[in-house]
Amino acid sequence: MNPATYGTYLVTQASVSAGRETTEIVEAAVDGGIDVVQLREKATDARWRYDLGLEVRELTAEAGVDLIVNDRVDIAQAIDADGVHLGQSDLPVAVARDLLGPEVVIGCSASTVDEATRAEADGADYLGVGSVYGTTSKDVEADRAGVGPERIADISTAVSIPVVGIGGITAENAGPVVDAGAVGVAVVSEITAAEDPCAATDSLAAAVETAKAVGDTPPHDG
């Protein structure tokens, strides 16, 4: 449970999975080398998400992949997830930390430096920053516009906890997000809506690793 290793991060959403089960998508992503899975599933009731969470927990636990639950601290506890991811309108990070204890991973969404530094001070273990390139997965004007890799750089400089970029990210544009300071990228459609989610995960992971390798290469003195 080390968010610094969250290079590829799948956020589940059955409504964009082309009629496939979320467990099918997760299993394919695991086979493709995903590092962490977030059970999101907006617009579903608690019981449905709990039952699905138990199935996903079994898949991720067997593979040694972290499982994070979006928003719901109670469901995270109930299915023994590795962590929870909170938005700005969810329970405060500090409250979730008191409920969950020191060992559980807590992530927090942030789109500004102020939100990011406050989340870190309150005990967040990592930040989900975006929407980087804009996205249609949430009906929010700011999400559609995108904050750009520049915001990743601003926030990564301001905090000491890992930053994961999210929003409109693909294998083709993941590199600048990592170059800006993110440890990895979180995606919904890039994997969930892909014809081959396993291959899509593999491509995304390769793009992230390539960007990291380039960033770690020392300058050539010529």
CATH of residue 123's domain is: 3.20.20.70
Q: Is 13 annotated as a binding residue?
A: no
Residue 219 lies in a domain: no
Q: Residue 39's domain spans which residues?
A: 3-211
Question: Domains in the chain: how many in total?
Answer: 1
pLDDT score of 141: 41
109 preceded by cis ω (within 30°)? no
pLDDT at 142: 43
Q: Determine if residue 42 is labeled as part of a ligand binding site.
A: yes
Residue 90 marked ligand-binding = yes
Could you tell me if residue 218 is inside a domain? Answer: no
Residue 210 assigned as binding residue: no
pLDDT at 50: 98
Residue 101 covered by a domain: yes
Distance CA 38, CA 147 (A): 22
**Is 38 annotated to bind ligand?**
yes
Confidence (pLDDT) at 145: 74
Residue 216 is assigned to a structural domain of this protein: no
Which pLDDT score is estimated for 215? 74
Would you report the helix, strand and coil content of the chain in percent, each value rounded to 5? 45, 15, 35
Q: Please tell me whether 41 is known to bind a ligand.
A: yes
Helices 22-32 & 197-216 angle (0-180, nearest 10): 40
Residue 217 in any domain: the answer is no
Residue numbers of the chain with a pLDDT score lower than 50: 139-143, 222
Whether 183 is covered by a domain: the verdict is yes
**Residue 35 belongs to a domain:** yes
pLDDT at position 140 is 40
Domain presence at residue 21: yes
Report whether 70 belongs to an annotated binding site.
yes
17 labeled binding residue: no
Q: Over the Cα atoms of the chain, what is R_g?
A: 16
